[in-house]
A and B are shown apart, each in its own frame.
Chain A
Amino acid sequence: MSSRSAILDQIRRQLGRGPLPPEAVAALDARRPAHTRIAVGDDLVPRFIARFESRSGSVARVAGLDEVPAAVAAYQARHGLPPRAAVARPLAGLPWPDGFSHHPGPAGQSEILSVTPCLAGIAEVGSVVLPSGPDSPTSLNFVPDHHLVVLHSGQIVRHFEDVWPRVRALPGGMPRALNIVAGPSRTGDVELTLQLGAHGPRSVHVILVEAPM
């Protein structure tokens, strides 16, 4: 007997029943839980910023998408970084300045900075949601030292649960990888001392675009 049927049989034996009847299966498939959501308030943008910054993430606000390249350049200048980056394809058409070299990824081992769009921001804890896809390599979210995320203020939702309808509506449904990122990589594994930049980005910077998408 295969381990599969041995395990399933054992489960049913322990539960004192056979396989579930079709009505019970249908009821389980129809289950849509509505768990308690925590009070978040109505000021979603300030809440998102405050929560995201509380974990050493940083946020810059710009009026429109066209201002993103200038915000990226300012970030690079502030950190003394060279004018190159991995820029996810949906952002490749922005007015990048002359002398700024970019490629769509995936990220190579020495990648310093990436710029990516995102699916949503979550006000509840201040995190961004990044689905993978042909135009959004997952490595851009983890390999570079600096990860810059372009988020439209209208993309900020209240709770974790508000993301799921958007994910289910994506072409292909659940993407191969869905990353919810709440700030820079961190560890407390040596003497419980908080240290940023354990393995993932040392810095995660949200460029918050006020104009609608």
Chain B
Amino acid sequence: MKVSSPQFKAKVVTALADPHLRDALGQSRKGFVNGRGALVADLPEFEQLRDQARDVKNHVLANLDHYLERFEAKVTAAGGQVHWAADAEDARQIILGICRRVGAKTITKGKSMVSEEVGLNEALEAEGYQVIETDLGEYIIQLADEPPSHIIAPAIHKTRAQVAELFEAAHGGPRKTTVGELVTEARLVLRDKYFRADVGITGGNYLVAETGSSVIVTNEGNGDLTQTLARVHIVTSGIERIVPSLEDVSLFQRLLARSGTGQETETYTTFSTGPRRPGDPDGPEEYHVVLVDNGRSKMLGGKFQDMLRCIRCGACMNHCPVYGAVGGHAYGWVYPGPMGSVLTPLFVGLDSTYDLPNACTLNGRCQTVCPVRIPLPELLRELRHAQRQAGLRPAAETRALKAWRFVAERPRLYRAANRLAARALKALDSGSGRLTSLPFGQAWSGLRDLPAPEGRTFLELWQARKRP
């Protein structure tokens, strides 16, 4: 998928001026954040579960080669086939190869972020396959020809009226007005596709080493129809999504839906193990798992290994004030929000993603809610450091920080500078108690006022109070 992260700032300006987007983001915040909050408050074991989930993921990463080999052996024993994709091109070629071999025409897809990551739809469509996204949100953005703006609610930025317009153009009128009518229309249109599909492609929330199963967790049932009714089922998943045993899946099931959508459980948790067996009346004739590396293995053993614990729940973006203001498209690639601001630079490079690690206030909410305790703010700070080492950060910033350091290391000078600034800013106050424009901070005061200082520094006030 094309990276448009260099246009981050321009996209932010557009996003902030979009009233529909603000409404949509406001709604989702309420739903997801309150939902999670209520469930977590109800579960005294939650913090302990987070610790255990973090530990299981760390255990898997430390033994990733072993668990991948075990998984492969089990899939093979169940009659399925594992394919290893070193990068996006590898993944596309593997899947195109399968589709060609089985003479596919129609391909249905359940939601898969990895397939977005490797640009699968474009590759399939370029070879003339009819590709149909079946998750309602993904279907909507496929009609709109847009990337997802949220990893679990891809069309969160679209209003009902916009969806109605897209459906009318795609399916013919009359235009529907209620959410119920729109969902029913999509249901009817997609029904036919499931039954006609040659290949069904889904993601994998977990890959279970013990049994060789891929697991999807969904609310709509589209992933299940996709993989049950197509002749061939292909799973695309990152190599880090392995869990050792069924018991480990149970642990993550207690965290995933609560953290992400604010549900006690999602509607469907489905384990797929190999193709149709002798005597089975339905199910796919072939079962393939494409294990995608695409930069993941390079994160092992380094400063960014913690990011490989991510279970793609969406909690970090649901709670991020920056995501909440600008939405997912501004981030310019597949993964938005805090987890995307870490992953995108690591996957596509530091140069084209300069703004992402910087568009963070380091408020830490993401880390507070992450079910696998990824220290996201720390990783973002680490990326800023990497930018500096790569010589990507502006010279003016370096000069300013040097000047600040010079002053901060000299307490008398520091206090004198503070006193001067406090008095100068007070002098600028015209009596309203607010400064509407700052001499060296136009960008900051362009959007908000600064409360005017009272003319004395904190230290001066403190010392004055200490005297009897």
Chain A interface (Cβ within 8 Å of chain B)?
2-4, 6-8, 10-12, 14-16, 19-20, 24-25, 28-29, 31-39, 51, 54-55, 104-106, 109, 125, 127, 132-134, 137-139, 141-143, 159-161, 164, 167, 172-193, 195, 197-201
Contact = CB atoms under 8 A, between A and B. Distances in A.
B195 interface: yes
Contact of B254 (A34, A38, A133, A142): A38
A25 B66 contact: yes
A123 B90 CA distance: 44
14 contacts: A10-B298, A11-B297, A32-B247, A35-B251, A38-B45, A109-B195, A167-B246, A189-B136, A191-B179, A192-B28, A192-B156, A195-B180, A197-B184, A198-B222
A195 B183 contact: yes
A198 B84 contact: no
Interface stretch (B121-129, B197-205, B261-269, B343-351): B261-269
A4 B267 contact: no
A35 B250 contact: yes
Nearest to A35: B251
Contacts of B219: 185-188, 198
B352 to A, nearest CB: 24
B76 interface: no
B118 to A, nearest CB: 13
Contact of B155 (A37, A137, A186, A189): A189
Given A109-B192, A141-B224, A193-B179, A39 B44 contact: yes
A197 B179 CA distance: 12
A183 B267 contact: yes
Contact of B282 (A36, A139, A164, A195): A139
A125 B264 contact: yes
Interface stretch (B48-56, B427-435, B445-453): B48-56
Interface of B: 24, 27-28, 31, 43-45, 48-49, 52, 56, 62-70, 78, 84-86, 90, 134-137, 140, 153-156, 158-160, 163, 179-180, 182-184, 186-187, 190-192, 195, 211-213, 219-222, 224-225, 228-229, 239, 244-251, 253-254, 261, 264-277, 279-283, 291, 293, 297-302
Contact of B220 (A137, A164, A185): A185
Given A167-B246, A176-B275, A3 B84 contact: yes
Nearest to B272: A177
Contact of A3 (B27, B86, B136, B271): B86
A138 B280 CA distance: 9
B213 A174 contact: yes
Nearest to A130: B270
Nearest to B136: A189
Given A14-B300, A104-B281, A160-B253, 16 more contacts: A3-B90, A11-B68, A31-B245, A37-B45, A109-B191, A133-B280, A160-B250, A161-B247, A172-B277, A177-B273, A186-B220, A188-B31, A189-B155, A191-B159, A191-B160, A192-B28
Contacts of A132: 280, 282-283
